[in-house]
């Protein structure tokens, strides 16, 4: 049993198809099937249930596959450790971020990242926070931008900056004349929020609970841009993170909150076992400076 054989297990599990797995692993289907069969004989258990339509892991196969993923990730970290010893700022990096941050932050810092890491090939992944943490822990992300605090075993984080929230109101709303919104004024507003799973929703609800405000039950948006359009049409008031504030729509007014603590901490997170910590620390500095 070697790393190549372990990769076969994971690839078949991910694709659910021996033919697709063989193509990804760059071997013939018969070679992959024979090797999987030898592994099953060696281990004395059946890893996969096979039918004409699909291939799926058995119960013991799921347990073995989960451990196999960890072994493969540790092997990759060993390779990355050796590579980073030669040059910690080269190679590939997969960076994740959540949807209410990624499209607004990446354009601001991409130029600085390219300038400071000319030999780094970066791949950007946009997912909700729960998915980012899962991808990070499984090794499919190298690091991720997450709203802190991040209290997760095996995950390290460094705070990059604090992003304030602004109240987005329709132009014809009396609040649009305000220079700042006090806690008392905010408490009397029913805010339109994002749907479940978005960290911005949790952050907004935390503010609502702290001041006795509430959520509008008329509608829940699936994206920040949908929220913005609802405000522009005069049907909603919501909280918008500072990086997402835009002044290109005359029907929306953005008003700062008097309470400057109302916002979110943006952190860069990575696995404690990663060999790329020097790169992450430098990347954190670059993103912080670009904001």
Contact between residue 81 and residue 254 where contact means Cβ atoms under 8 Å apart: no
Domain that holds residue 201: 88-291
In tens, the pLDDT along 152-202 reads 899 999 999 999 999 999 998 888 888 999 888 888 888 888 887 788 888
Same domain for 221 and 152, yes or no, is yes
Q: Which of 83, 107, 136 marks a domain boundary? A: 83
Q: Which of 83, 103, 122 marks a domain boundary? A: 83
Average pLDDT over every residue of 121-147: 92
What is the chain's mean pLDDT, rounded?
88
Measured between alpha carbons, how far is 176 from 87 in angstroms, rounded to an integer? Answer: 52
Same domain for 53 and 166, yes or no, is no
Residue 105: give its domain's CATH number: 3.40.190.290
Same domain for 172 and 273, yes or no, is yes
Q: Which of 83, 113, 144 marks a domain boundary? A: 83
In tens, the pLDDT along 229-239 reads 989 988 788 89
Same domain for 19 and 101, yes or no, is no
Return left, alpha or beta for 234; rule: phi > 0 is left, psi -120 to 50 is alpha, else beta.
Answer: left
Asked whether residue 209 carries a pLDDT value surpassing 70, the answer given is yes
Total domains present in the chain: 2
What is the model's pLDDT at position 115? 92
Same domain for 190 and 288, yes or no, is yes
In tens, the pLDDT along 60-107 reads 999 999 999 989 988 887 877 776 666 678 788 999 999 999 999 999
Q: For residue 277, which of 149, 158, 192, 189 has the smallest C-alpha distance?
A: 158
pTM beyond 0.95: no
Measured between alpha carbons, how far is 208 from 41 in angstroms, rounded to an integer? Answer: 59
Same domain for 104 and 57, yes or no, is no
Q: For residue 270, which of 161, 168, 146, 164 has the smallest C-alpha distance?
A: 146
What is the model's pLDDT at position 148? 87
Parallel, antiparallel, or unpaired: how do β-strands 155-170 and 263-271 relate?
A: antiparallel
Same domain for 51 and 178, yes or no, is no
Q: How confident is the model at residue 264 (pLDDT cuts 50, 70, 90)?
A: very high
In tens, the pLDDT along 8-50 reads 999 999 998 888 999 999 999 899 999 999 999 999 999 998 8
Measured between alpha carbons, how far is 224 from 245 in angstroms, rounded to an integer? Answer: 11
Same domain for 71 and 122, yes or no, is no
């Amino acid at each position: 049993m070697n790393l190549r054989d372990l990769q076969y297990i994971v690839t078949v599990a991910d694709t659910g198809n021996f033919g697709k797995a063989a193509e990804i692993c760059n071997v013939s289907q018969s070679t992959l099937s024979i090797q999987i069969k030898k592994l099953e004989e060696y281990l004395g258990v059946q890893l996969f249930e096979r039918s004409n339509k699909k291939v799926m892991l058995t119960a013991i196969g799921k347990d073995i596959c989960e451990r196999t993923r960890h072994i493969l990730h540790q092997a990759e970290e060993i390779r990355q450790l050796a590579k980073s010893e030669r040059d910690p700022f080269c190679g590939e990096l997969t960076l994740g971020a959540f949807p209410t941050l990624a499209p607004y932050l990446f354009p601001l810092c991409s130029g600085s990242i390219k300038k400071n890491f000319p030999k780094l090939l970066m791949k950007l992944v946009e997912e909700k926070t729960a998915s980012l943490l899962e991808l990070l822990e499984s090794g499919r992300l190298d690091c991720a931008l997450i709203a802190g605090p991040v209290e997760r075993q095996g995950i390290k984080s460094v705070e990059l900056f604090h992003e304030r929230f602004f109240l987005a109101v329709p132009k014809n709303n009396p609040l649009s004349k305000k220079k700042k919104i006090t806690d008392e004024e905010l408490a009397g507003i029913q805010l339109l929020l994002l749907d479940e799973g978005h960290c911005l929703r949790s952050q907004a609800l935390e503010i609502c609970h702290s001041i006795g405000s509430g959520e509008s039950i008329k509608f829940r948006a699936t994206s920040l841009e949908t929220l913005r359009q609802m405000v522009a049409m005069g049907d909603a008031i919501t909280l918008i993170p500072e990086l997402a504030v835009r002044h290109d729509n005359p029907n929306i007014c953005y008003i700062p909150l008097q309470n400057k603590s109302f916002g979110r901490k943006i952190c860069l997170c990575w696995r404690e076992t990663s060999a790329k910590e020097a790169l992450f620390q430098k990347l954190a500095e670059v993103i912080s400076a670009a904001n």
